[in-house]
Amino acid sequence: MPHTQEEILLFAEDIAKQAGRLLLDKLRAERTIDTKDTVTDLVTDADRAAEALLVDEIERRFPSHSILGEEGTRAQASTTQDGYVWVLDPLDGTVNYTHQLPMFAVSVGVLLNGAPLVGVVYLPVLDECFCASRGQGTTLNGQRVHVSTRPTLRQSVLATGFSYDKHLTHQDNVSNVGRFIKEVRGLRRMGSASIDLAYVSCGRLDGYWEEKLKPWDVAAGVLLVEEAGGVVTNYHNRPFELDEGRIVASNPLIHSPMIDQLKPYVQEHAL
Ligand code: IPD
Ligand code: CA
Ligand code: CA
């Protein structure tokens, strides 16, 4: 049975908030912490419980839809397959959460035939819910938001992040930070890619770049930025693909200057 975009958006918002409340309830409880591929890549009982909640709800409401969840609770879908695919990061900002820093979010993206259809990023501590639906714009707690209009890097606050293998490789984003910090008003490391993108969408941040991201980090946030009038590309200024991991998201005015700042890194690592 066909479902309307509106119905999918409302449902995505509802389950993101449910998962967010679960994370809040568990925030001060004792954590079970495991590591994944590297010692800095954590997964907790809260990540798994939030993903299980999201997956159970989606399977009950939309049994024919596919799911790609970070913690792999069920069989994993691909971002390029036909039909509806729910792309879930049940807890984006796990290191923050583990240290009881408040910057963490639930990220729920829905793709239709490989293209973002709906995106929700919910920050439980602030009770801020960012929602986007293709062609319908981006909202923050129901109010339309837009990317900033700051025209230069000098007036901009940017964010970036670092992958969990940063201590194992020279492709660690460190030299980019050295270049950008000299050019901008401010540089932030939130610790949550979905929040970085949500904040670009509402103009709190002017731009964001990062590499080695996974589809669940960005599936919802990319739509938030695009629907708010922003630009999202890879480091070569070409359209961003969910599986490629390198992202530049910004207001349209500082996008080219950001790409220029990344050129030495692109050359150094033959990206
Ligand atoms: C991480 C966060 C972080 C980013 C990392 C991601 P997780 O996701 O989004 O900001 O720098 O690349 O892996 O592990 O907290 O879900
Ligand atoms: Ca993540
Ligand atoms: Ca996560």
pLDDT tens-digit series, residues 138-165: 999 999 999 999 999 999 999 999 988 8
Whole-number Å distance between alpha carbons of 116 and 137: 13
Q: CATH number, domain at 191?
A: 3.40.190.80
Give the residue, out of 103, 194, 217, with the most ligand 1 atoms within 8 A of its beta carbon, to mutate for a pocket test: 217
Query: Could you read off the pLDDT of 32-61 as tens digits, one per residue?
Result: 877 877 777 777 899 999 999 999 999 999
- Give the ligand whose atoms come closest to the C-alpha of residue 104: 1
Atom of ligand 1 at shortest range from CA of 42: 14
With b for 16 or more beta-carbon neighbours within 10 A and e for fewer, the 74-111 pattern comes to beebebeeeebbbbbbbbbbbebbbeeeebbbbbbbbb
* Of residues 1, 8, 195, 211, the one with CA closest to residue 111: 8
CA dist 88 to 102, 111, 134, 151, Å? Answer: 20, 11, 18, 33
Same domain, 58 and 166: no
132 and 233 belong to one structural domain: no
- Does residue 147 form part of some domain? no
Decide which of 142, 177, 196 is a domain's last residue: 142
In a domain, 87, yes or no: yes
Establish if 148 belongs to a structural domain. Answer: no
Please tell me whether residues 60 and 162 are part of one structural domain: no
- Same-domain check for residues 173 and 79: no
Question: Ramachandran region of residue 47, left (φ > 0), alpha (ψ -120 to 50) or beta?
Answer: alpha
The mean predicted confidence, pLDDT, of the chain is 94
Q: How far is the CA of 2 from the centre of ligand 1 (A)?
A: 34
Are the beta carbons of 172 and 202 closer than 8 angstroms?
A: no
214 and 127 in a single domain? The answer is no
CA of 195 to the centre of ligand 2 (A): 10
- Whole-number Å distance between alpha carbons of 202 and 137: 11
pTM score, whole prediction: 0.96
115 and 194 both lie in a single domain: no
**Residue carrying the six token digits 């969990």:** 164
Mean per-residue pLDDT for 178-183? 97
pLDDT of residue 73 exceeding 70, the answer is no
Q: Which ligand is nearest to the CA of 97?
A: 1
Q: Which domain holds residue 162?
A: 153-268
Q: How many domains does the chain have?
A: 2
- Residue whose CA is at the smallest distance from ligand 1 atom 14: 94
Instruction: Convert the pLDDT of each residue in 98-138 to its tens digit.
Output: 999 999 999 999 999 999 999 999 999 999 999 999 999 99
Instruction: Judge if 115 and 11 occupy the same domain.
Output: yes
Q: What is the dihedral of CA 100, 102, 103, 108, to 10 degrees?
A: 90
Question: What pLDDT is stored for residue 155 in this prediction?
Answer: 98
Regarding whether 30 and 128 lie in a shared domain, the answer is: yes
CA-closest residue to ligand 1 atom 8: 92
CA of 1 to the centre of ligand 2 (A): 32
**Residues 264, 193: Cα–Cα separation, whole Å:** 23
Which domain CATH number covers 36? 3.30.540.10
What is the Cα 235 distance to its own chain's centre?
17
Beta bridge partners of 127: none
Atom nearest to 104 CA in ligand 1: 15
User: Of 115, 142, 169, which residue sits at a domain end?
Assistant: 142
Q: Which atom of ligand 1 is nearest to the CA of 191?
A: 10
Burial class (CB in 10 A: 0-12, 13-18, 19+), 269: middle
161 in the same domain as 138: no
Residues 123, 214, single domain; the answer is no
Pocket of ligand 1 (CB under 6 A): 89, 92-94, 161-163, 191-193, 210, 213, 217
For 206-218, give one letter per residue: b (16+ CB within 10 A) or e: bbbbbbbbbbbbb
